[in-house]
Amino acid sequence: MPGQRGQRWHDRRTSIVDAAARLFAERGYHATGTAELCEAVGLGKGSLYYYVESKENLLYLIHDRVMSQVLELATRISEMDEPAGERLRQLGREQIAVIAAYPDHVWVFLHEHRALTGERARRFTASRRQYERRIEKILTDGVRSGEFAIADIRIAALAWLGMHNYTYLWYQPSEALTVERLAAEYYALFTDGIRAPGARPPAGRPGQGRPAPR
């Protein structure tokens, strides 16, 4: 969203944010000095801060570069006029695609977000919560429409997030495992579970949750 600064300023800032994400992911936020940042982007300290304001703001911008996309996608998809299952399927695919496209940014914002303070920390937490609410909306819509049976929407949303976000630790897109295939597998797991059709839970065990689907 270019404001008074103009498109060129914003493009330059984005390339600085991406270079910083790479550096922070490699060396850690605290361990990366301003001198290294300046060298990586080919700017002096004054010019660097003209674009990014401060090192902490740079960390916030790395987070925002991913989160703003993810949140926009989630908002659009969660409000689509489609069955909840279809919306959940699409959101899963987009979520994995973003994680695969921005491995450094995701690494940095999952690992270093505690370095944010004050207003930036507040905005970080708020955008995360907003994202969770989009997932919760899809799940709630699905329960209302009779597509889903969910004992606890919040826990289910966090389980879904865990399953998808955790891919940042191991997943690299390949022909053998494309974003589409991984997302389809996760969708099938999350929607239908692993219980074989017709199999029943072991008799007499407590805490099994809902009865097996008939």
Q: Are 41 and 16 in contact (CB under 8 A)?
A: yes
Closest CA to 107 of 27, 177, 32: 27
Nearer to a copy of itself among residue 23 and residue 139 (C-beta) = 139
Is residue 142 a contact point for a copy of itself (CB under 8 A)? yes
Site for a copy of itself in 108-137 (CB under 8 A): 110-111
Write out the two tokens for 47: 């010019």
What whole-number distance in Å separates Cα of residue 37 and Cα of residue 120? 21
What whole-number distance in Å separates Cα of residue 66 and Cα of residue 212? 38
Among 58, 59, 104, 167, binds a copy of itself (CB under 8 A): 167
What whole-number distance in Å separates Cα of residue 117 and Cα of residue 12? 25
Among 81, 119, 151, 172, binds a copy of itself (CB under 8 A): 151
Among 2, 5, 11, 30, binds a copy of itself (CB under 8 A): 30
Site for a copy of itself in 46-75 (CB under 8 A): none
Closest CA to 131 of 71, 64, 66, 65: 71
Is residue 100 a contact point for a copy of itself (CB under 8 A)? no
Residue matched to tokens 């404001």: 3
Residue matched to tokens 């494309």: 178
Kindly state the smallest distance separating residue 65's Cβ from a copy of itself, in Å.
Answer: 20
Is residue 158 a contact point for a copy of itself (CB under 8 A)? yes
Is residue 150 a contact point for a copy of itself (CB under 8 A)? yes
Is residue 31 a contact point for a copy of itself (CB under 8 A)? yes
Q: Are 186 and 89 in contact (CB under 8 A)?
A: no
Is residue 89 a contact point for a copy of itself (CB under 8 A)? yes
List interacting residues with a copy of itself (CB under 8 A).
Answer: 27-31, 82-83, 85-86, 89, 110-111, 139, 142-143, 146-152, 155-156, 158-159, 161-167, 169-170, 177, 180, 182-199, 201-202, 205, 207-214
